[in-house]
Structure 1
């Protein structure tokens, strides 16, 4: 009987010591060393709100050709045109002098209406607007800009249309022709785009 009590005491004491050691290790894990070797309580990183967390994340994908062929057969590339329009407008408004911008993105065109900045020449403002769009969209798009006040109304008239709407093509062509009467800036962006690349870039979009 005494032997059993002795064995039990040893086991209980060992478990207690192990528990203390675990607790001490857990406590030490919550502390870090300062530069002078002294202990410093560990501080949890500041929690980000959902919007900050989403905007801070990086985007990464990796495929090989075989995986792409297997997974993407008979699929088309989807484009969020509204997101493109939103991004272009926001970026352009970050330039000094631009206080109002409207952007319409179709399947092949980007139409941008903006107020004419007071301290920027019209041609330069048009170049800034076009360069902003080309920094966001795929290279096969054509960009048209206008500082004419009526262009805001013209672009807005198509906001609820689709590429399948009646008279869509005719209305779009008419708006573009009117926008081209405003300065379009220099042509350096389009000159730098290889024409052969434009012809061979195959993108399919749908609503």
Structure 2
């Protein structure tokens, strides 16, 4: 009986020692489990940290090397995706800060931003340009941004909320929606449609 108790006790001590050794190894590791970022101080300043509340005033800094291990190829890990719903949320909130804009519906796809808003502005062109700039401040420059103050299109925009880039007929449907939005008098640059050559000759 005593031998059994002693054996169990020795196993427990060995397990604790092993865990402590693993923790020490992880603590002293030059390259922690963080892709190809390098940990240079205890604050982990150059490793991406998950956002926390009340940290909006902090600067962002991350240092990357081609690879911390010679010969290792990490290029397939260098591509990130964005949370399109979060982007749409940010754009919508920004747009409600525009004077005379009260109700905003925003759809973000893989390459477009569609914004339908309700406004009582007396200068629709200026309002459209401000809404456009709000979206431009959030997404990369290669996104096409379309705005419309025709609130009848809101339901069509919302109908794509549960779809994704792989949904059947999504792209053709969005193209039709964009065509309808452009009939509001503003193109994707937030400026009035240019008159056609026939109109110029009239």
TM-score by length of 2: 0.61
- Please report how far the alpha carbon of residue 188 of structure 1 lies from its aligned counterpart in structure 2 after TM superposition: 8.0
| Higher Cα Rg, which structure | 1
**Structure 2 match to 1:179:** 181
- Please report how far the alpha carbon of residue 151 of structure 1 lies from its aligned counterpart in structure 2 after TM superposition: 1.7
**Would you say the 8 A contact 1:130–1:143 is kept in 2?**
yes
**Structure 2 match to 1:111:** 114
Q: After superposition, give the CA deviation of every residue in 1:52-103 in whole Å (9 maximum; x if it has no partner).
A: 5333433221223446x84332553211111111111111111221111111
Change in CA separation of 1:165 and 1:145 when aligned onto 2, cut-off 3 Å: same
| Higher helix proportion (structure 1 or 2) | 1
Distance 2:160 2:190 in 1: 29
**Structure 2 match to 1:23:** none
Distance 2:74 2:89 in 1: 30
Distance 2:104 2:52 in 1: 24
Aligned length: 138
The yes-or-no answer on 1:100 pairing with 2:117 is no
Distance 2:157 2:190 in 1: 25
Match of 2:132 among 127, 130, 133: 130
Unmatched segments (≥5 aa) in structure 1: 1-49, 190-207
**Would you say the 8 A contact 1:127–1:186 is kept in 2?**
no
**Structure 1 match to 2:199:** none
Unmatched segments (≥5 aa) in structure 2: 1-50, 192-202
Distance 2:186 2:109 in 1: 18
Q: After superposition, give the CA deviation of every residue in 1:33-64 in whole Å (9 maximum; x if it has no partner).
A: xxxxxxxxxxxxxxxxx975333433221223
Larger relative contact order (Cα-Cα within 8 Å, sequence gap ≥ 6): 1
Distance 1:104 1:181 in 2: 18
CA-based RMSD: 2.5
**Would you say the 8 A contact 2:98–2:131 is kept in 1?**
no
Change in CA separation of 1:95 and 1:175 when aligned onto 2, cut-off 3 Å: same
Change in CA separation of 1:187 and 1:165 when aligned onto 2, cut-off 3 Å: closer
- Please report how far the alpha carbon of residue 185 of structure 1 lies from its aligned counterpart in structure 2 after TM superposition: 6.4
The yes-or-no answer on 1:91 pairing with 2:94 is yes
**Would you say the 8 A contact 2:121–2:127 is kept in 1?**
no
**Would you say the 8 A contact 2:100–2:120 is kept in 1?**
yes
**Would you say the 8 A contact 2:107–2:157 is kept in 1?**
yes
**Would you say the 8 A contact 2:147–2:188 is kept in 1?**
no
- Please report how far the alpha carbon of residue 186 of structure 1 lies from its aligned counterpart in structure 2 after TM superposition: 8.6
Distance 1:74 1:63 in 2: 12
1:54 match: secondary structure: coil
